[in-house]
Amino acid sequence: MGEAIGQILPLAVGVALSPVPIIAVVLMLTTPRAGSNGLAFVVGWLLGLAVIGAIVLAVADPAGASENGEPAAWASWLKLVLGLLLLLVAVRQFRGRPQAGEQASLPKWMSAIDRFGPGKAFGGGAVLAGLNPKNLLLAISAGVTVAQTGISTGQQAVAYGVFAVLGTIGVGAPVGLYVAMGRRSAELLGRLKDWMAAHNAVIMAVLCLVIGTKLIGDAITGLT
């Protein structure tokens, strides 16, 4: 199980460093329902990652992702495809970055965050965790990576659980800061939001480039 956790740590970091969801959480923490909305978003995020992992593990393990303790060829091919897709995401993000003097634009739905209740916050967290292209690719990669190690079903669940928890730290940290400091955290969270918004495209591009390259390397190793 230690091997599985070690291999998915970079993928968990890639999920945790998700600028747009972190900005969304910070914006929620400036609304009258700050505490409940922030917590609901984090729980939804964690559940979104858990559902993707459950589906991938339920499919990959019976399909034989591991053959005699070694990665199955199909699983390595899948990781190769996922790695290439992440490289495409990296290129798209880098090409779409704001030029000098331009202000970074945020998704239009963020303007309605002040009207969110806990239900919408929960749903938003689940969708951004499980259906965001970058996170979806990373979560699938994590599930396949865990299944490839050939450990028992229970250990697979624990290993992927570690991935999901670590991947939640990014959106969970602002909520924790708000709980600890209350309204005094506003200035610090505001600076974090502004920095994330300004560098969103570059952060995403670098993450996808590094992790995509890692997946391609792992796939080549498994196939050879």
Which pLDDT does position 122 carry in this prediction? 95
**Can you tell me which residue has the tokens 């634009």?**
105
Q: Which residues of the chain have pLDDT under 70?
A: 62-70, 100-104, 106
Which pLDDT does position 192 carry in this prediction? 87
Which pLDDT does position 63 carry in this prediction? 63
This prediction's pTM: 0.87
Which pLDDT does position 183 carry in this prediction? 78
Which pLDDT does position 66 carry in this prediction? 64
Q: What are phi and psi of 66, to 5 degrees?
A: -120, 135
Question: Amino acid letter at 184?
Answer: R
83 Cβ contact partners less than 8 Å away, ≥ 6 residues apart: 141, 211, 212, 213, 214, 215, 216, 218, 219
